[in-house]
Amino acid sequence: MMDTNKEASGCDTKKHICGIVCNVTNCVHHDCETHCTAKEIAVGPSYATTSQDTVCATFKQKKD
């Protein structure tokens, strides 16, 4: 059963990726909790040497 409050607020009600925590609330794949609902994620760039050098290439900003 889908949460109608999440649907009404525009939150994603798709299944999330297990083991992935996301706090980027302005991403279209964010489920309004702490989960990513993208089919898959891509993290890069390949030359990163610390976690601060990495980005989620799957990120897409929500439209207002």
Note the pLDDT tens digit of each residue in 10-39. 566 678 888 888 999 999 999 999 999 999
Long-range pairs of 16-20 with CB within 8 A, sequence gap ≥ 24: 17/41
How far, in whole angstroms, is CA 12 from its chain's centroid? 10
Cβ atoms of 23 and 59 closer than 8 Å? no
Checking if the pLDDT of 59 tops 90, the result is yes
Asked if the model's pLDDT at residue 54 lies above 70, the reply is: yes
Count of CB atoms situated within 10 Å of the CB of 20: 14
Domain ranges of the chain: 1-64
42 contacts: CB under 8 Å, gap ≥ 6: 56, 57, 58
Question: For residue 12, what pLDDT is reported?
Answer: 63
pLDDT band at 1, cuts 50/70/90?
Answer: very low
